[in-house]
Structure 1
Amino acid sequence: MSAVCSLRSTLAIGLVGALLLAPLPAAAAPHGKAKKPPAETTAAPAEPVAEAAPPSEPATAAPPDTTDVAETPPPAEEPPPATDEPASDDERRARAAKEFFEGSQKYELGQYPLAIEHFERAWELSQEPLLLFNLGQANWKWFEVDPDPEHLRRARQSFDNYDKRMRGTKDYDPTEVHRILERIDEQITKAVETADQRRERELRALEESERRRLWVERERRIVTNFNATGITLITLGSLTLAMGFAGLLTRVANKIVLDNASGGPRTVNLQSAEEDAKHRNGFLVGGQLAFSGFIIGGILLPVGITLKVLGGVRERRALGSKRDKPKKADVAVTGDGIRVRF
């Protein structure tokens, strides 16, 4: 790189000299106008002067015409349209030198896009081949800041055009430029591979993210179904258990009434046959309700609770058990630098 810097310094000095000290094209001297010989003048013979007649009456002069005649002013000449193009070769060289110096300042400050703009304008004004070297150098340095392979391609094109224009000139050694082109070719190959790998990695990440999203949506649907079914079964199981307890209470109440009415196996039943039959039916129905309620509720309630628990487990697995906590930053070191993902 030191050789490149020394070469750039030498080229910069030569470029300034080429822009400022280039000789102007010789201008043709203005031709003087040929003087015409004075025309010969011949005096005409004098006419005899006639005698003036004696005045008769004084002539009256006509009154002057006082009517103002509006004279039309001549049209003002329009100034020539202003153009940004310099009018002479001196101005073009001065503008090119100014653009070159401004581009060099931007280059030293690391503002490579602005430096490239100034160098390109200087090239348009002067067509100096040394400016192609500066353009290649600026694009090459820009790649170090923004790793875009297009910067390397433009740098290579500038160096290649510089080599073509300088080839065959006196004291030109293409060795250093050819080394630069070889290094740029290697960097282009690596940059393209890195870009392809980065795109492939991004595609894999997108595919993984899409699979993750579909899986989460499917798990959410399953969790929703589990929760809805579990809540329904828990509700039905609770109601059937309540029905079983109600049937048990009905059976116990009718049994107490029947026991009190009969008073014992050898006592007389004080209730009528209809009342006795009604209490006996109530006793039987209460037993049936209690039996069916306890059986059905004992089945539905555990199943509903199990489904609700499974739904919660799958939800935590799909969405993460620490979803309410703030996410930590994921720091990864890649070929492009350090990537921080939140």
Structure 2
Amino acid sequence: MTISMTNPTPTSTTSTPMTTAIRALAAGVVSLALALAPIGAHAAPAGGDEDELAEDPSAQALDEARQLFDAGVTRYSAAEYGEAVSFWLEAYDLIPPSYENRQIKAELIYNVARAQQKWFEIDKDVQHLRQSREILRRYLGEVDELYGDQAVIEREKIDEQIAEIDEQIAAWEAEQARREAELAERMRPKFDEEADAREARRNKAMIGAGAGLTALGFGGVGLLVTGIVLAGGAQARVGELPLEADILAREAAISRGETGNALMITGSLVAGVFLAAGLPLLAVGGAAEKKRKARRAELSGIGVGVFRGGLGVSLGGRF
């Protein structure tokens, strides 16, 4: 037996529990009360009986879809939008994919899209808006076939809703970008200019002192070399003089040798003391200054970013 799936006319006064529930819905949700009215609301085919009508698989599917729709309406009215979406999608799958049911299925999808928008208002998950927009776009592709001469009006309404969703998504993304920038700024390693300046002065003092002491140490090395040259020259001079040579010349050579010896001793002491103190100061001060400059460059090139899925560190600089 064939059951008529044609929807009642808009002027039908059939009253169903779904009709009452729909009146409680927020504005914007399509009423499917008449389209999914109980099977008894449809005219029975001639010569048929209600038992045969109830046993029809399509009729049973529509009746179950109506019950699921009613459950979704109840959840929607209680602001339980996630469950409303689940019920309506389940009802959508139960409705036979016939030409007569195309508008019912499309309007169910429309209701799902509206529920997704309401869901976003509660948990601020932008994925609900994106899903709603995608659903409305698919729904828009069927408007011409579903509404015929009324398609222009319906298309304008859907376009306005999609534009509204686009604005909501853009506002959400702008707010997320602002929050991420604030979080990145708070988490950015702080550079202490005063501490850096103090460290720079300390390193400069160590390097300066080390350089001065090292210079004195090299001066001692110079004295040592000069003493070696004088002593060596005096020794050679004395060795060249014959025993009967002028006593004054011999004494002058010996005096130069003694001066050279004194310079060697003094130079050795000066070089040993000042180089031992100056070179470590130079090394420590230079290493500390190098680390300070590297740390300053590193902190100026590090940024903390918030990426999809968590925090991250971005590095900047020349390599």
Fold shared per TM-score above 0.5: no
TM (norm. structure 1) is 0.42
More helix by share: 2
User: Which structure has the bigger radius of gyration?
Assistant: 1
